[in-house]
Chain A
């Protein structure tokens, strides 16, 4: 077990762009050796927060302490210790994978060589391929390798899997899990609840520049007091929701895009109860789905919106 020192401490952080409050007084503490996730919809202030921690954006007010150092006084020492992956960086297209890694390696005093970093993200067979010819997942893995060449004590990953196909995402998750297993400290932002659930030891949910909940994924899911979600559709028939709401173990009922969502505590009682109730109302069931509660449900519970609201 790594020592439980804070790798990153943020207090009362604020940042305003013109008339938009991007970050509205947040506190964070990330322990050494953990993978911490900032989860929230687009525009929640995740990127602004992480870029302030990375020393790329200046906060209006608040305190940021990274690895016990501060940007105002120890910037150059800090840069040597951090591995950073930005959202949407396009690396030089005309350079090869190996050349790109050598370039980034040359900026750091110590760390793995370009060959070694290539191995860490499984890009050896693309060694001499131009960056412009890589797939989205390969580019993202290269960006990850660029963050690793300085042998960082703290790794910042901003939306590492956004825009990738499912297979590339899983591959990237496996890599990040390897870094976790190697005891690296990671702060990642994401708007994928499955990513946060799978990778993060602890999660802070952000919305409108504020942290609205934090804890382990398990704690957060438990906190909303529902374990399962039952979703059903009944064609065009009008369901008497009051009857459904009155069933045992149902915490909440919502109507969403023609489907009805029930948050329930006990699935084995709720599903038969629902079928009985619909039978009593004489309503034909066209769809029925259940899933265990996720961070997505936590977000919906807290804000009434989905993480990926269109």
Chain B
């Protein structure tokens, strides 16, 4: 007659094993928590919004230099012709403006260089205006620099989605293959433990870890870069939970039969690398040809990233995330069903 309490339950003990194996593995902690943060910080800084770039150009006469200095985006130096020629050839200036014999202005620049072309446009505009040109149509500018439309705003949901995918697939895949390789799985299956508990303990552990693995990059983005959270918390949480379950089922399927870590790594990389590229983590997946768009939309990583961006950046409601939710549920059902049929318990 033993008194049993909550922590004596097999499911609790199995989940505790997952937790202990994770937190006692410093490398796992690094790759799943610290690395994405470092990545977000690095990319956030690299792609921070810089003031518009000022182009360096040269002019060979004081009059031309005077006229060109009216344009704020040009940094004009007055140089003797030979030196100006040398500067433009070595790229120290983007363009040289010099007077031609007939009173016109000639521009010397490399037209394959975007800076050269831009300098040509700005310089010519400044010269024309200085000579009295009136623009027939007036234009006004609305500058887009507010939170929600910057690169970091685009990036954070991508990194969250990528993190959920990586942690779920690696986490489950490696643990399962490792337990199988060490015959620990076979040993556990030789006890009266109900087999679903074994798989369920992985999902439980994923759910416990999810708030941390989402919260860390999200909190970082909001706190450091002011990334907006315009949608509902329910939508955000729902998308993350669904994604975590779908990718866990994927990890289970990938690990359902393999016996070696090498084979498992291969399978996981083969699955994840295309999604890193196609699903728009770092740049919009819209850039791929229309032909492959339906395929890209059907990928689980695209679904979760699209849902997160819609929620966070556009404040989309649950109804607008229905399509992505459906994609994730489909992956969850198919992968889990297949994994249960294929799973090798020894």
Contacts and interface: CB of A to CB of B under 8 A. Distances in A.
A56 B346 contact: yes
B10 A94 contact: no
Contacts of B2: 110, 113
Contacts of A28: none
A95 B20 contact: yes
Interface string B6-35: 001110111011001100110000000000
B112 to A, nearest CB: 58
Given A56-B346, A94-B21, A95-B20, A106 B13 contact: yes
Interface residues of A, number: 30
B190 A54 contact: yes
B186 interface: yes
A4 B109 CA distance: 104
B344 to A, nearest CB: 13
B23 to A, nearest CB: 9
A150 B17 contact: no
Contacts of A91: 184, 187
Contact of B24 (A86, A94, A102, A146): A94
B20 A86 contact: no
A102 B5 CA distance: 12
Contact of A56 (B8, B16, B25, B190): B190
Nearest to B345: A56
Contacts of B92: none
A124 to B, nearest CB: 19
B20 A94 contact: yes
A92 B17 contact: yes
Contacts of B191: 79, 84, 104, 107-108, 150
B182 interface: yes
A138 B187 CA distance: 18
A95 B184 contact: no
B187 A103 contact: no
A80 B192 CA distance: 6
A89 B187 contact: yes
Nearest to B183: A89
A284 B16 CA distance: 70
Nearest to B192: A79
A102 B8 CA distance: 8
A76 interface: yes
Contacts of B190: 54-56, 79, 82, 84, 86
A53 B109 CA distance: 86
B346 to A, nearest CB: 7
B292 interface: no
B193 interface: yes
A174 interface: no
Interface of B: 2, 8-10, 12-14, 16-17, 20-21, 24-25, 179, 182-184, 186-193, 346
27 contacts: A56-B189, A76-B192, A79-B191, A84-B187, A84-B190, A84-B191, A89-B184, A90-B183, A92-B17, A92-B179, A94-B21, A94-B25, A95-B17, A95-B20, A95-B21, A99-B16, A99-B20, A102-B8, A102-B13, A103-B17, A105-B8, A106-B12, A106-B14, A107-B10, A107-B192, A113-B2, A146-B187
> 4 closest A-B pairs (Cβ-Cβ)?
A79-B192, A90-B182, A106-B13, A107-B191
Interface of A: 54-56, 76, 79-80, 82, 84, 86, 88-92, 94-95, 99, 102-110, 113, 130, 146, 150
Given A84-B191, A106-B13, A108-B192, 12 more contacts: A56-B346, A79-B191, A82-B190, A84-B187, A86-B183, A89-B182, A90-B182, A92-B17, A95-B17, A99-B20, A107-B10, A113-B2
